[in-house]
Chains A and B, each alone.
Chain A
């Protein structure tokens, strides 16, 4: 009995923390429509800051708490709202998600920059020195009692604010209809600022309360707090009472699992993953949302890739890889060789997110599955294992997608993130499983597994140079496949579905089947990337395929341009070539280099067409000027020969490789100024400002008036025909 009580208290304490955090999340989501993935990271930063004030600088506890919870927390919330979130109104789900995920990555990197990881930072709970309170059958620590008390106070406080205070009522109104709030006379900006201030403060409170348990570690603390998101989903991200109920369910389940789950190596991970499992189950039983029509007029534009462009891209990639493979040293090849396998994983996002508008935050989990298959079935270098990697990853992708199909937007993101956490925290860490003694399921064998290089016709491709070329060729082929899909029936269908599921359904399209196939396709591609990644790493462990890496890849692929294969290459190059290169050139940058991916996502995630689109535009004149292009190719080839004959070293070669295209682009621009202007003129038309901004963003013309009339369905006749 007392064991039961003890773990009830453990569970209720967790529930209290989840409730505090989740109610902050609901507050910001309902008032601004932005699901803040970085909510947990805000709590993490608060816990670190509190620790700094209280234990490093020796401030008294009340002062440290007041400064963190009532000054820094709200200020940070207001800062997020005004600087970042306000600009996201009217953007697509994907963009909102990328910005808040990038914020999460940025905040983790920031914490690691300020508080170097790997150092023990004990954070005792409140009144930890005092004797626990005796409840007869069991005891409760002061920290637990305070936590539960605070949660009750938060519940009562929120209820009072939302039902009594004027601004609180306005906040509830904003939940229903933002424009209505304006009509009612409240200032929506003020309302959302207040919501973000309160929400961030609640995250901070939760962060400080939870941190003494797991300890101060930036990434795991931020993601641990993700557990609280499951509670918010209970309330469909809207209802606070249901959110509290959800928190209690999740907290108690976790508490009892801690108490009663047999302590063995199979099940400990399950306890850690239990909030994610519950989240997944809750998403399964959520009522079906109505079919989506066109939501926002998105400004994204991904031109249909041309066949010539596609082949050019593929050839350039392969030539680039050959040059690298023949010039770099083995250690460098191992570092930069990751570009192409990861690039394939990034490519898997293009059909799924870019074409179909679905969201997956678990692509590296699929890659991990491909890697495991490669490790076990590819022992001895059997290339057929690659096929199995694709098929098995695709099958798992379909299974994950099945429940996810009914979901969209933020729920889909949460569902796939939950899946990634379940793999990360539990399944990937399982020891060998014996299924009824019939056969063994062996994933990472509780640590790491080694992977053999692929062997073909008796030749083992185990040197890093050959592996890089194999991966690059595979990348190029997959890129061609993706482009072929884009140009064909499936591509059109996916783009159509992204725009309007309602229209597709009323035309007779089976949405479930279409989504299932694109999920399977995408997971299969990711599995292939993972398998090649595994052969390159030679030894793989769960840490290679974590949620955080999926988040990073997702965000940076969107920054690059999720609608085109170039975006995938951009992401892989930025993360796995540019960043390591930066650290090599400038060793002290290692401290802050981690801030870059998150920073890029926050800043650039809004450009709906991606950076690659702009790069491509920049190179258009060069592609048109054939002579200059040919000269550039010759120059590059010359530099390559000089490098091979050791006349110049790697650095000079790299400088030339960057310099030549730049010079050539400038030369092309000078040689054909008229062609360039014409191209720019065309572009202007495509990219004209949306109708509602005409006259504001640019002068109003008569043509605009006509178009507006047509848009509104007015006819001259009708205008004069009013009785």
Chain B
């Protein structure tokens, strides 16, 4: 996928987002390194999806900057950012519902082919990705007919077709069963091993602790802890936030 030498890293500094009077993100800082899976967890409404929207350029922050490979992207539109190597999936699935699995991925491959100088054949690239995400059996099915777990894989496949350096995954495992999640964990590690910087938003704590190198915890729009999975599991602030939000 990405060649090992062009090191990619995503960095978010001091991002603040206000919706009317509500502060959705409050001075958020976060970094994602190539070859690593960076976890971003937090209760519902913490601002995780909003942060992804800011990083991908779908939402302009009230303050703060977003850089990739030391390049300031804050002023760029989503298209330019994507072409610099950024890709994401959507929690609220944004699949192309009229198209099949294969066509969904093909759209992304064709887009990349359209602007890059890649020599490879998009049709072949799509087939490789279909095998990789394990959707060979349903390749010709319309995505609307698939269960959510597989839809999330299609979104991942679509991202891979753009050959990203930074990959943002918004709750990719929700809707997957246990075997699917286990396979997914393997795939995530592989992607990171290839040099991609992966940011993972996920509620499945076991998956997060399993695959992440670093975990960031977001609560009410603020980063309350950063560390290795082991550190995070012991962090009193995190425990308080989680118990506070899940206790009956």
| Residues of B contacting A713 in the complex (Cβ-Cβ under 8 angstroms) | 148, 171, 174-175
| Residues of B contacting A504 in the complex (Cβ-Cβ under 8 angstroms) | 107, 111
Cβ B110 vs Cβ A492 within 8 A: yes
A505 to B178, alpha carbons, bound, how many Å? 32
Interface string of B3-45 (1 = CB under 8 A from A): 0000000000000000000000000000000000000000000
Name the distance in Å between B22's Cβ and chain A's nearest Cβ: 15
Q: A291-B58, A492-B99 are in contact. Are A507 and B108 (CB under 8 A)?
A: yes
Q: A293-B94, A495-B99, A713-B171 are in contact. Are A502 and B58 (CB under 8 A)?
A: yes
Query: Number of contacting residues on A, CB 8 A?
Result: 37
Judged by a CB distance under 8 angstroms, whether A508 is at the interface is yes
| Residues of A contacting B79 in the complex (Cβ-Cβ under 8 angstroms) | 505, 508-511
Judged by a CB distance under 8 angstroms, whether B183 is at the interface is no
Judged by a CB distance under 8 angstroms, whether B162 is at the interface is yes
Query: A-side binding surface: helix, strand, loop or mixed?
Result: helix
Judged by a CB distance under 8 angstroms, whether A126 is at the interface is no
Judged by a CB distance under 8 angstroms, whether B117 is at the interface is no
Q: Which of B90, B108, B112, B142 lies in contact with A293, CB distance below 8 A?
A: B90
Q: A707-B147, A713-B171, A713-B174 are in contact. Are A508 and B83 (CB under 8 A)?
A: yes
A507 to B97, alpha carbons, bound, how many Å? 16
Name the distance in Å between B71's Cβ and chain A's nearest Cβ: 16
Judged by a CB distance under 8 angstroms, whether B137 is at the interface is no
Most buried by A among B78, B93, B174: B78
Cβ A294 vs Cβ B58 within 8 A: no
In the complex, number of A-B residue pairs with CB atoms less than 8 Å apart: 111
A710 to B106, alpha carbons, bound, how many Å? 25
Interface string of B138-170 (1 = CB under 8 A from A): 000010010111000000001101100000000
Q: Which of A297, A302, A503, A717 lies in contact with B90, CB distance below 8 A?
A: A503
Cβ B96 vs Cβ A503 within 8 A: yes
Judged by a CB distance under 8 angstroms, whether B219 is at the interface is no
A125 to B106, alpha carbons, bound, how many Å? 64
Judged by a CB distance under 8 angstroms, whether A459 is at the interface is no
Cβ A506 vs Cβ B88 within 8 A: yes
Cβ B98 vs Cβ A710 within 8 A: no
Judged by a CB distance under 8 angstroms, whether A265 is at the interface is no
Judged by a CB distance under 8 angstroms, whether A493 is at the interface is yes
Q: Which of B94, B162, B175, B246 lies in contact with A723, CB distance below 8 A?
A: B246
Name the distance in Å between A541's Cβ and chain B's nearest Cβ: 40
Q: A492-B103, A507-B107, A508-B82 are in contact. Are A499 and B98 (CB under 8 A)?
A: yes
- Which residue of chain A is the closest to B122 with respect to CB atoms? A489
Cβ A505 vs Cβ B58 within 8 A: yes
Judged by a CB distance under 8 angstroms, whether B92 is at the interface is yes
Judged by a CB distance under 8 angstroms, whether B120 is at the interface is no
Judged by a CB distance under 8 angstroms, whether B125 is at the interface is no
Sample of 20 further A-B pairs with CB below 8 A, known A301-B98, A505-B82, A506-B57 = A291-B78, A294-B92, A300-B98, A493-B110, A495-B96, A496-B99, A499-B97, A500-B94, A502-B94, A503-B158, A507-B108, A507-B159, A507-B161, A509-B82, A510-B115, A686-B142, A686-B145, A707-B147, A710-B147, A717-B178
Q: Which 8 A-B pairs have the closest CB atoms?
A: A713-B174, A508-B82, A503-B94, A505-B78, A500-B94, A496-B96, A710-B147, A713-B175
